[in-house]
Structure 1
């Protein structure tokens, strides 16, 4: 599967390597083109997943704020709820389409 913004692939991995959480596909960290992401200062803590790290995504000269996120150190109870360790996996907002 691919996470695509315009004509740029931001992440790509086999579907079996992704994790689906609450309708969002989370890509393994090794599949993400990190050079297209910029760490964001936006704070958020999910009550069951833990502290979130947002990233802005570059599309040419444009920067789309907070369009990607990850849980670097999710709560153990969140990992149990999902059934897999999703530490560091990255999900993308709707402008970044997920394609098979």
Structure 2
């Protein structure tokens, strides 16, 4: 799978975990040079508290386009150490 935004491959891996229709990529498959820390957090009742990154490619910023669960609840342990994408990021095979 590949996560693509602004004509750049942000992440690529054959080892994604799909939860609620979202592909979670291993952190080592993500091009961290495109990630910018965000202060945004949301809470999922069964996964826990999510943290976000914005993406920056060629000066364009996609705010909070990637998220992850630093300490997921037990029911979501399979996504620990993984990131997912949205907000116009294409996830394709």
TM-score by length of 2: 0.93
Larger % of strand: which? Answer: 2
Aligned residues: 93
Cα RMSD of the aligned pairs, angstroms, is 1.1
Alignment of 1:12-91 (within 5 A): 12-14=12-14, 17-79=15-77, 85-91=78-84
Aligned to 1:95: 88
* Superposition deviation, residue 51 in structure 1: 1.1
Where do 5+ consecutive residues of structure 2 fail to align? none
Relative to structure 1, is the Cα distance of residues 28 and 51 closer, same or farther in structure 2, using a 3 angstrom cutoff? Answer: same
Tell me the equivalent position of 2:4.
4
Q: Which has the larger radius of gyration?
A: 1
Q: Secondary structure at the match of 2:79?
A: coil
What is the TM-score when the length of structure 1 is the normalising length?
0.87
